[in-house]
Amino acid sequence: MTDIISPEWLLHHLDDPDVIIIDCRFTLGQPEAGFKAYQQQHLPGAFHLDLEKDLSGPITDHGGRHPLPNPQKIAKTFENMGIDEQKHVIAYDDQQGAMAARLWWLLQYLGHSKVSILDGGWSKWIELGYPTTTIQPEAKPTTFTPHLHQELLAEMEEIRQKLHHPDTILVDSRDERRYRGEYEPMDPIAGHIPGARNYFWQEVLQKQGEWKKTSELEKHFQALPKDKEIIVYCGSGVTATPNFLALKQAGYKRVKLYAGSWSDWISYPDNPIAKGEENG
């Protein structure tokens, strides 16, 4: 299954009954904007899933700003959209793939590998002049049985145990200023997890917003040994998922997502915090 599919491919599969399209548009700080944009215009046949209402669980003392949803609850949501093991899910957004990658990772974690991201997302689709609609599709409910792949997920205790472990590399997916602790717009404490290296998630994309080719991604991550375990994180576990996908594209086999990410890490007062550069 190809993780990234072209707009041309999707254009020719809009009427395929085994393809289900999910609009994941969401704007941080403007929680209603994504669904409003979907109501105004979306890809033909697309359903909408909201980052905070659907693709995240309730916020508690720990778990970060976007905790993972309850597996049974999100499975029910998928069932109601007609997603089962036969369906190929195509996710898109207008946030450079971050929200779509969150859905991509969630489905992988739940054992559904037939999921791809639309290359270039909504912006590319519109640029190409491909069809859109305001009609919301009617779902044909089915059965979705989750089979959790725990090897894709890292929890806080595991991170704490593996700090500076020679076989594990932490990758911070936030921009350089947030990584270095110079600026923190989202969370109450600035900095990064000690030992983490910084690979800003948007660097896996071309300037036009499309995903870089495999050879480019291999070059981008060349300083990371492929025999090491790589654990990616960001602010809340969303924008780390493009890095997760890109590492997989580049041939890394042992990749995990710290789903709670920085916002979970700092919810434990005893966890150490680093600032400055550690990319050596």
Answer whether residue 277 shows pLDDT above 90. Answer: no
Q: Could you list the active site residues?
A: 234
pLDDT of residue 278: 85
pLDDT in tens, 202-251: 999 998 899 999 999 999 999 999 999 999 999 999 999 999 999 999 99
Task: Give me the CATH topology for the region 4-127.
Answer: Oxidized Rhodanese; domain 1 (3.40.250)
% of the chain exceeding 70 in pLDDT: 99
Phi-psi region of 164 (alpha: psi -120 to 50; beta: other; left: phi over 0): left
Average pLDDT of the segment spanning 251-272: 98
pLDDT of residue 32: 95
Average pLDDT, the chain: 97
DSSP secondary structure letters along the chain: --SEE-HHHHHTTTT-TTEEEEE---BTTBTTHHHHHHHH-B-TT-EE--TTTTSS----SSS-SSPPPPHHHHHHHHHHTT--TT-EEEEE-SSTTHHHHHHHHHHHHTT---EEEETTHHHHHHHTT---B-PPPPP----------GGGEE-HHHHHHTTT-TTEEEEE-S-HHHHHTS--SSSSS--B-TT-EE--GGGGB-TTSPBPPHHHHHHHTTTS-TTSEEEEE-SSSSTTHHHHHHHHHTT---EEEESSHHHHHTTSTTS--B-S----
Find where tokens 């290359």 sit. 119
Answer whether residue 254 shows pLDDT above 90. Answer: yes
Find where tokens 């911070």 sit. 172
Strand partners of residue 92: 23
Residues near 9 by beta carbon (within 8 Å), at least 6 away in sequence: none
pLDDT of residue 28: 86
Q: What is the CA radius of gyration of the chain?
A: 18
Of the candidates 137, 104, 48, which has an alpha carbon nearest to the alpha carbon of residue 240? 104
pLDDT in tens, 55-87: 999 999 999 999 999 999 999 999 999 999 999
- 4-127 and 150-265 agree in CATH topology: yes
Answer whether residue 279 shows pLDDT above 90. Answer: no
> What are the backbone angles phi and psi of residue 279, rounded to the nearest 5°?
-85, 5
Average pLDDT of the segment spanning 45-64: 97
> Per-domain residue ranges for the chain?
4-127, 150-265
Is 118 in contact with 92 (CB distance < 8 Å)? yes
pLDDT of residue 280: 53
pLDDT of residue 140: 93
pLDDT of residue 103: 98
pLDDT in tens, 151-207: 999 999 999 999 989 999 999 999 999 999 999 999 999 999 999 999 999 999 998
pLDDT of residue 29: 86
Between 3.40.50.720, 3.40.250.10, 3.40.50.10490, 3.40.50.300, what CATH number should domain 150-265 receive? 3.40.250.10
Average pLDDT of the segment spanning 134-163: 97
